[in-house]
């Protein structure tokens, strides 16, 4: 007998679970289908070496929206985290702290440049205004300003009215969208370490060096989280597990080890899914948390889609250029430039290694031509410093996000070059934390190709798609379909391919659920 639900969600990543949990709380019968043995997608905790566990992909809890935490009661369902209010940027003989406390950051900057310290409040004020605007836009359903039906015109008018007083903030945002990260920070700062400290944020998840136009936007978007920077207790898999438990408490079902082969469509309307096993499951709504390319190029027969829609989906850019490197070590990294008295912290469990703007930019140079960085920038974090459950007693986990690593290599492949990339990363780490490589017991490397193969992210892009002017807001993932809907009736999108994009924010899932419930009420 064919199973029937109100909605089937394809993919048990945190956005799919969030969407399902909201729909379940609204009284709908929900089935979440996940191909892996456990939920989470990019928000997972996995054992990568005997006794050593790490957040394989997403590693810092900072973007999870407070509204979602409160409404889904995630603390009640096991979410706990350890604040990490400081990021250490080392040099070979010193270092600087970026703190959640602006006064502390200003004090740190003053050690390197009095002028830069004086300018920091101006920089912070400008950036904060842009961040506040982006925080508001996060929860918006993107409008289509070119639709002429009365309902769409009304939505556009209401949107314009809500932001009628945001002229300065919008201009500041447009600067971020068009300027390079280097030019953006150089308006206020002259010291290279201070510049690099802020420019590093522009490298995370990006595909262009921080001297390239548009990279200032990456800098700003990485700082819009409202709960501060944190290590999640038990790793980032705890986020997905808490959302799962919240949904299950209201009747949501989750089925793992289940591969969805096709989305079933009849007369322009989605009505179910066909599993790899051959089983069909039917539902009134089908919601895909998978990447837009996988959803519409692999799971929906092209006969059900307009040709221009298919071409736009094919053109959605998903190049990934970051790698993850998980290390089991027998002692904490000891940074040569770290000093408790100078920095005012006990230990730098979260660091950014990229001491100058040129260092960051050079890391991208080889990748432009199909190779990888000889000196990669690194973001080492040591969650086991605050969470001893992740490693055996006396041992630690050091997880790196780094760059730059293209998806495809010119005249070689990652199976051959992976060990050399690891060696390059260890050489950089040894330069700033002498003896690190000797402390490594075991490691596991993930290149963009590995990430794609593991969690179905085309290109291995951590954002599900590049965050560029033509792939944000009402252009994300493609024009005309940025409102979580699709050309197929009753087929929706809720993953990070949609607005506002990647990071473990749960906002795409939250917004999609709101639109789905609105349609449900309209068609009731």
pLDDT at 69: 98
- pLDDT attached to residue 469: 85
Tell me the C-alpha distance between 112 and 476, whole Å. Answer: 41
Give exposure, 194-203, as e/b (b: 16+ Cβ within 10 Å). bbbbbbbbbb
* 132 torsion bin: left (phi>0), alpha (psi -120 to 50), beta (else): alpha
**Domains of the chain (ranges plus CATH)?**
1-82+98-316+458-524 (3.50.50.60)
The three state secondary structure string of 291-344 is CHHHHHHHHCCHHHCCHHHHHHHHHCCCECCEEEEEEEECCCCCCCCCCHHHHC
DSSP state of 414: H
- What is the Cα–Cα distance from 498 to 478, expressed in whole angstroms? 9
127, 102 in Cβ contact below 8 A?
no
The stretches in the chain having pLDDT less than 70 are 523-524
Q: What is the DSSP string of 471-500?
A: GSGGGSSSTT--SS--SSBTEEE-STTSTT
CA dihedral 450, 454, 455, 461 (to 10 degrees): 0
- Token pair, residue 259, equals 């591969």
- CA gyration radius, the chain: 23
3 state DSSP class of 250: coil
Instruction: Give per-residue burial for 489-511: e unless 16+ CB within 10 Å, then b.
Output: ebbbbbbbbbbbbbbbbbbbbbb
Per-residue model confidence (pLDDT) at position 173: 87
Please, are residues 396 and 385 in contact by the beta-carbon 8 Å criterion?
A: yes
pLDDT of residue 463: 87
Torsion of CA 191, 194, 196, 199, to 10 degrees: -120
Phi-psi region of 432 (alpha: psi -120 to 50; beta: other; left: phi over 0): alpha
Query: Is the pTM for the entire model greater than 0.75?
Result: yes
Q: What pLDDT, on a 0 to 100 scale, did the predictor assign at position 237? A: 97
Q: Residue 479's pLDDT is what?
A: 93
Cβ within 8 Å of residue 374, ≥6 positions away: 366, 424
For residue 18, give both structure tokens: 């969030």
Cα torsion angle, 286, 288, 294, 297, sign: positive
**Is residue 166 exposed (0-12), middle (13-18) or buried (19+ Cβ within 10 Å)?**
middle
Report the alpha-carbon distance of residue 345 to residue 88 in Å, rounded: 10
CB atoms within 10 A of CB 46: 18
Q: By the 8 A CB rule, do 17 and 32 touch?
A: yes
3-class secondary structure, 497 = coil
Name 190's Cβ contacts closer than 8 Å, sequence gap at least 6. Answer: 113, 115, 116
Element (H, E) at 383: none
* pLDDT confidence of residue 524: 55
């Amino acid at each position: 007998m064919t199973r029937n639900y109100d909605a089937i969600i394809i993919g048990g990543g945190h956005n799919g679970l969030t969407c399902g949990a909201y729909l379940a709380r609204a009284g709908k019968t929900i089935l979440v289908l996940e191909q892996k043995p456990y939920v989470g997608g990019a928000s997972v905790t996995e054992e990568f070496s005997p006794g050593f566990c790490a957040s394989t992909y997403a590693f810092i809890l900072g973007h999870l929206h407070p509204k979602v935490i409160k409404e889904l009661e995630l603390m009640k369902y096991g979410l706990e985290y350890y604040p990490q209010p400081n990021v250490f940027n080392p040099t070979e003989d010193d270092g600087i702290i970026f703190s959640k406390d602006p006064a502390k950051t200003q004090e740190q900057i003053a050690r390197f440049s009095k002028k830069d310290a004086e300018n920091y409040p101006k920089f912070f004020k400008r950036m904060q205004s842009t961040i506040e605007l982006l925080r508001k836009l996060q929860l918006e359903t993107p409008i289509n300003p070119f639709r002429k039906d009365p309902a769409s015109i009304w939505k556009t008018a209401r949107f314009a009215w809500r932001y009628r007083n945001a002229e300065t903030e919008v201009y500041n945002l447009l600067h971020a969208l068009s300027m390079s990260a280097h030019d953006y920070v150089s308006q206020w700062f002259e010291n290279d370490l201070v510049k690099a400290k802020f420019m590093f944020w522009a490298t995370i998840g990006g595909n262009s060096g921080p001297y390239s136009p548009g990279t200032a936007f990456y800098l700003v978007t990485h700082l819009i989280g409202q709960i501060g920077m944190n290590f999640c207790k038990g790793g980032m898999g705890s986020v997905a597990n808490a959302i799962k438990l919240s949904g299950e408490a209201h009747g949501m079902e989750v089925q793992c080890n289940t591969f969805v082969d096709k989305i079933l469509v009849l007369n322009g309307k989605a009505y179910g899914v066909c599993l790899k096993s051959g089983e069909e499951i039917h539902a009134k709504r089908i919601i895909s948390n998978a990447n837009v390319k996988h959803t519409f190029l692999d799971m929906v027969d092209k006969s059900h889609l307009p040709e221009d829609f298919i071409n736009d989906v094919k053109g959605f850019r998903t190049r990934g250029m970051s790698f993850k490197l998980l290390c089991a070590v027998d002692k904490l990294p000891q940074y040569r430039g770290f000093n408790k008295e100078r920095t005012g912290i006990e230990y730098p469990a979260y660091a950014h290694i990229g001491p100058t703007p040129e260092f960051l930019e050079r890391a991208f140079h080889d990748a432009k031509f199909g190779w990888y960085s000889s000196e990669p920038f690194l973001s080492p974090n040591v969650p086991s410093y605050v969470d001893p459950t992740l490693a055996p007693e006396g041992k630690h986990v050091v997880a790196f996000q780094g760059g730059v690593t293209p998806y495809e290599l010119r005249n070689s492949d990652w199976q051959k070059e992976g060990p050399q990339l690891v060696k390059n990363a260890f050489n950089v780490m040894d330069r700033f934390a002498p003896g690190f490589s000797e402390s490594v017991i075991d490691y596991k490397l993930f290149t963009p190709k590995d990430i794609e193969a593991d969690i179905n992210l085309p290109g291995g892009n951590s954002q599900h798609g590049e965050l560029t002017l033509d792939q944000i807001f009402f252009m994300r993932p493609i024009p005309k379909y940025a409102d979580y809907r699709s050309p197929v009736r009753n087929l929706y999108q809720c993953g990070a391919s949609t607005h506002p994009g990647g990071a473990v924010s749960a906002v795409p899932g939250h917004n999609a659920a709101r639109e789905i419930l609105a349609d449900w009420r309209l068609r009731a």
